[in-house]
Amino acid sequence: MSIKKILILIAVLLAAAFVLTACAGPAGAVGPAGPAGPVGPAGETGAVPSAADLTCTQCHNETSLLDGKIYAWEGSRHGPAGLTWEEEAGNKTCAGCHEGSSFIDRIAAGQSFADYTTAVADLVLPDATPQTCRTCHTIHTTYTTDDFALRTVAPVAMVISGQTFDKGMGNLCVNCHQARRYMANFPAKDAAGAVIPGSYSASVRFNPHLSNQSDMMLGVGGGGTVTGTPSAHYTMTTDACVTCHLGEPPNHTFKATVSACVACHADATSTDINGAVTAIQVKYDALKKGLTASGLVDADGAAVPGIYDEAKAFPLWVYGYITEDASMGVHNPKYANDLLDAALAGLP
């Protein structure tokens, strides 16, 4: 065959291929995947991470960083040894403070203790816990020491007084450590339910509740005509409660110690600075003795229920207010003294 014929044949074949390609139909559906191939060989074993690569070791290490705090907390009233959790576990009206898990929920929701059980109908409480590390700190969020950050330090609008408490880390505490009621919340009423002016219906709990520390510090809620002002423990500290009750390094028994006092009271040898606590204790004891003699306080130191006029109700209220604050005036010495002086002067 001549070269000319071969070239003509090639040209014809190329033209035919072009025509056949141009006339091809659309692509069909993708077929099923084929079987998996054999497993490849194992790779080399990776390097074992060092402790420096694990952020959990920032807290969980061989030091006393956690142990010192945990053992101190366990013996505190906020820990399992205290009654703060045990006595009110499952009580919806108290859970927002007395249960650590409920406290976390209400702070996340931006609620006060009064809002917690009223904001959601048929509220189902979480599993009850004491005030654990998680209650106050954002534990296991970043898995670093950043998790020691407090759950909130936002200023607190106090429920009963209407005051705003704003002292840094101390704000966390005041979400619970504030009064639940004032003297005005105990009005006496007649048979028709009308308030009897100037009279008060005292119960065995004729007091602000064991939580009025911030009220005392601000100088409010003591009743009568005594006018108070914020104490130096509020105005001259950065974090109020935390400044004195934890100190540096933080003491998780939450008991105020002399080591915290000396930052301001350089010559302090006890928490009874200049004998202020002793002097207030003397007045408090005199008030209790007078109220007992008048039949307003029983042998156990509890208020005797009854309907009382202002003259009897005020000294009884001051007694409960000082008792429940539990600092024997340390939180606000001037206000405590003024209240006790007025109460003693008005003893029946």
Provide the pLDDT for residue 15: 56
Please give the Cα distance from 320 to 302 (Å, whole number). Answer: 9
Q: Is the pLDDT of residue 285 over 60?
A: yes
Q: Is the pLDDT of residue 29 over 90?
A: no
Q: What is the mean pLDDT of residues 87-111?
A: 90
Tell me the pTM. Answer: 0.84
The residue assigned the tokens 């008991």 is 255
Q: Where are the beta strands (DSSP E) in 105-209?
A: 156-157, 164-165, 187-189, 195-202
Residue 272 pLDDT grade (very low, low, confident, very high; cuts 50, 70, 90): very high
Mean pLDDT of the chain: 90
Sign of the alpha-carbon torsion through 30, 35, 40, 46: positive
The residue assigned the tokens 């920032």 is 58
Provide the pLDDT for residue 296: 98
Sign of the alpha-carbon torsion through 191, 193, 198, 201: positive
Integer CA distances (angstroms), 63 to 44, 59, 78, 137, in order: 35, 9, 24, 20
- The residue among 207, 236, 205, 230 whose CA lies nearest residue 315 is 207
Residue spans of the domains in the chain: they are 64-151, 181-348
**Hey, is 2 helix, strand or coil?**
coil
If phi over 0 gives left and psi between -120 and 50 gives alpha, with beta otherwise, what is residue 329? Answer: left
The residue assigned the tokens 């048929």 is 122
Integer CA distances (angstroms), 339 to 120, 182, 221, 301, in order: 39, 14, 10, 19
- The residue among 164, 165, 140, 135 whose CA lies nearest residue 150 is 135
In terms of pLDDT, which residue wins out, 295 or 58?
Answer: 295
Q: What is the mean pLDDT of residues 313-334?
A: 98
124-133, 226-235, 331-340: lowest mean pLDDT where? 124-133
Sign of the alpha-carbon torsion through 271, 274, 275, 281: negative
The 10s digit of each residue's pLDDT in 57-86 is 888 887 888 998 999 999 898 888 777 787
The 10s digit of each residue's pLDDT in 161-220 is 999 999 999 999 999 999 999 999 999 999 999 999 999 999 999 999 999 999 999 999
- Determine contact, residues 219/309, Cβ cutoff 8 Å: no
Integer CA distances (angstroms), 153 to 107, 306, 340, in order: 11, 41, 33
Tell how strand 187-189 and strand 164-165 pair up: unpaired
